[in-house]
Amino acid sequence: MDLRQLSSLLIKIAGLVIIIFAITGIPGYINSYLYQENGTLLGFFVFTIIPLIFPLIIGSLMWKFPNSITNKIIEAEGDLSTNKQLLSELERIAMTILGLILLFYGLSDLIYNFAYVYSSNSQNQETLSTFKVSPENWGHILGTFVEIIFSLFLLFKSKGLLKLLNKIRG
- Report how far residue 12's alpha carbon sits from residue 4's, in angstroms, rounded to the nearest whole number: 12
Task: Give the model's pLDDT for residue 130.
Answer: 65
Per-residue pLDDT of the chain (170 residues; tens, 9 = 90+): 677 788 888 888 888 888 888 888 777 777 766 766 666 777 777 777 877 888 889 889 988 998 888 888 776 565 555 566 666 777 777 888 888 888 888 888 888 888 778 777 776 666 555 667 778 888 888 988 998 998 888 888 877 777 777 777 76
- Report how far residue 33's alpha carbon sits from residue 115's, in angstroms, rounded to the nearest whole number: 11
- Report how far residue 37's alpha carbon sits from residue 88's, in angstroms, rounded to the nearest whole number: 52
- Report how far residue 55's alpha carbon sits from residue 38's, in angstroms, rounded to the nearest whole number: 27
Instruction: Tell me how many domains the chain contains.
Output: 1
Q: Taking the CB of residue 170, how many other CB atoms lie within 10 A of it?
A: 4
The domain in which residue 29 lies consists of 3-169
Cβ burial of 134 (10 Å; 0-12, 13-18, 19+) is: exposed
pTM for this prediction: 0.58
- Report how far residue 5's alpha carbon sits from residue 97's, in angstroms, rounded to the nearest whole number: 15
